[in-house]
Structure 1
């Protein structure tokens, strides 16, 4: 009974503080957080701390639109990831994290949207930064969220400006993320008013040859021996739009059969199709990239198979995407031509981008 009463008082105190004070500290207490079963609340280094052994922790009874989110992360040179999630709605959210073992490297800090419980860092190479972390004591991660953008600081040093938050959410839950074990302390939030209406910062496509709409299927478990062109070409397709760059973040539109377990996921696939109408026979250049794997068909015939998976081409290979990475000269026939791309993914970013010149 005493524990229940204490929890109720803690929750009421948190809500009252947010209502009266523009800044509030969310103590590392079980009454304030929804955490995985193996998480531990411990006194460490004269602080109240949360030890996350993996997964996400969410602040109870608190959602944020705009404001500042800060947390201290204990120094850790062992391979691990530690960060903040915000504007979380169900399994889709924004996420920023430190790759604790990558101090001083070009991808020490990363931003990614999480779509349907899947990370997409391979698709957003532009939102990574090189920073050096403290190798002892606490590192402070701070995110300043304003409408559709965010600025990321580590130990008061600016790391990343995210000029276009990708989920489209204007409000959501906030919390913490860890892959492998990391320790957090001193979580604080400063809500701020919405200055303007939150709108997408998407820009018009600069290159008119970029494919900006695809017809895609639902996802299914991938089995190379079961893949059949006649079968998947007659499946039901839905129309989806890319980002201005031509990037199609597939997990935004379809949910995988297994997600959130990184390389432990099963492989899923979708088929993305586009039609080309031409007045006479001609050859056109098809430039494209993908994650993780792809099979490209033109009018039912395979023209390309590739593997762009994380570490598929060496231990340091990241699998980032760029629209000019792969090129095919496609012999198009007078009339309607169809390109089908079977895009296969296990983890870290399920994407496709292409242009037909």
Structure 2
């Protein structure tokens, strides 16, 4: 069936903009997964399981996205994406209906190279407590402008989630609705408005400056299989010889999200991150470290530390979130010291967060 797009002209901040209503029976969408048209509680919509539907319009950058959805209390992560560059690179907001009323009932994360990153981006500005009903319609609205966004749930005039800083570069892209599980999730009444000046109610916070000693500039290797590091206490020369390197700058928090420049696979789930520490004398310095999911720290080629922080690794409630939970004491020699950190990933976030608070007598590069 030909696309049935309905346009409604509205005034936003004294600008005339077009609100576009897109029925789910139109050819304006591409479909993946199981999509079933149905009427539920008086609203015509779709039941979506194990998939994603994507709007063909690839020009949405700023504006408003609205739709209704129903949620089931079963463990599930339905939501939506926007500014999709492709299926592996987009901004993502999703709900955890099985966590309703808890601090992670809704969450934002950027997706790079198909890699989730919720273990990096949590707490204020990324996830929050919110309540929403089960098995009945609830209204969802996103308002986005450049690097800021806010999400409204139901009929509230206050945003449920403020996103102080969207992590991906603001670029026009597609919009998607998603439910990757065989759990009942419905969508209805989809509409969107493109405008560079949507009304926003949130009090956004500027990005905090890096904490003292935060390590920001790294070299990141090409990917390889984690198994190649399991047989020795030094960096295998056969691995080192095959690596190529790229520069990557950490965020102000110190988080180095490897997936920004590397794509993980089952047999290439590890990279080395490295930097050089010049010391004016032999001395010991404390390295604060967070990582996901596993890390091996090498100083001047020798293994100092190996840790596991993946999902459920510590107890059945441990989420694998990244923070300064570990510390390593670096026994530095005078002159040049090579710090290499191998970081391996299953899912949820790939990278490290690090700092040396006391950098007296050091040059780190």
TM range (shorter): 0.7 to 0.9
Contact in 2 for aligned 1:213/1:240 (Cα 8 Å): yes
Q: Which has the higher helix share?
A: 1
Conserved in 1, the CA contact under 8 Å of 2:17 and 2:195?
Answer: no
Name the CA shift for 1:216/1:335 in 2 (closer, same or farther; >3 Å). Answer: same
Partner of residue 263, structure 1:
none
> Residues 283-340 of structure 1, C-alpha deviation per residue, up to 9 Å, x if partnerless?
0011010001111111111111111111111221111111x31111111000110111
Residue 112 (structure 2) aligns with? 115
Paired with 1:99 and 1:280, the residues of 2 have a C-alpha distance of 52
1:226 CA drift (Å): 6.9
Residue 159 of structure 1: aligned partner:
160
- Return the offset for 1:117: 1.3
> Which residue number corresponds to residue 211 of structure 1?
215
Answer with 212-221 or 33-42: which moved more.
Answer: 33-42
After superposition, the Cα gap between the structure-2 partners of 1:281 and 1:337, relative to the gap in structure 1 and judged at 3 Å, is: same
Does structure 2 conserve the Cα–Cα contact (< 8 Å) formed by 1:215 and 1:272? Answer: yes
2: distance between equivalents of 1:35 and 1:221? 34
Partner of 1:351: 351
Query: Any gaps of 5 or more consecutive residues in structure 1?
Result: 1-5, 196-200, 259-265
Residues 1:23 and 2:30 are matched in the alignment: no
Residue of structure 2 equivalent to 1:249: 257
Q: Distance in 2 between matches of 1:332 and 1:99?
A: 45
Contact kept, 8 Å, 2:146 with 2:170, in 1: the verdict is no
Cα deviations by residue, 1:225-260 (Å, 9 ceiling, x for unpaired):
4785323334221111111111111111111125xx
Residues 1-357 of structure 1: pairs in structure 2 closer than 5 A: 6-7=1-2, 9-10=3-4, 13=5, 22-90=18-86, 91-126=88-123, 127-155=126-154, 156=156, 157-180=158-181, 181=183, 182-193=185-196, 203=207, 205-223=209-227, 224-225=229-230, 228-234=235-241, 235-257=243-265, 268-322=269-323, 324-356=324-356, 357=358
Size of the aligned set, in residue pairs, is 335
Q: Secondary structure at the match of 1:63?
A: coil
Shift of 1:267: 6.7
Is the 1:83–1:141 Cα contact (8 Å) retained in structure 2? Answer: no
Distance (Å, rounded) in 1 between the aligned partners of 2:276 and 2:17: 56
Q: Which moved more, 1:159-168 or 1:35-44?
A: 35-44
2: CA distance, partners of 1:28 / 1:302: 56
Alpha-carbon distance change, 202 to 295 in structure 1, aligned in 2, over 3 angstroms: farther
Alpha-carbon separation, structure 2, partners of 1:71 and 1:267? 39
Cα deviation per residue 1:26-76 (whole Å; 9 max; x = unaligned)?
212152311114232333333222222123211123421111111211131
The answer (yes or no) to whether the contact 2:45–2:188 under 8 Å persists in 1 is yes
Maintained 8 Å contact 1:30/1:41? no
- Which piece of structure 1 moves more, 215-224 or 125-134? 215-224
Measured at CA, do residues 230 and 344 of structure 1 come closer, stay the same or move farther in structure 2, by a change above 3 Å? Answer: same
Contact 2:33 2:48 in 1 (8 A): no
- How big is the shift at 1:204? 7.2
Residue aligned with 1:119, SS = coil
Question: 1:45–1:87: structure 2 CA closer, same or farther, 3 Å change rule?
Answer: same
CA contact (8 A) 1:267 1:345 kept: no
Query: Which TM-score applies when normalising by structure 1?
Result: 0.87
Secondary structure of the 1:58 match is strand
The 8 Å contact of residues 202 and 243 in structure 1, kept in 2 or not, is answered as no
Q: Which residue of 1 aligns with 2:201?
A: none
Q: Distance in 2 between matches of 1:79 and 1:207?
A: 37
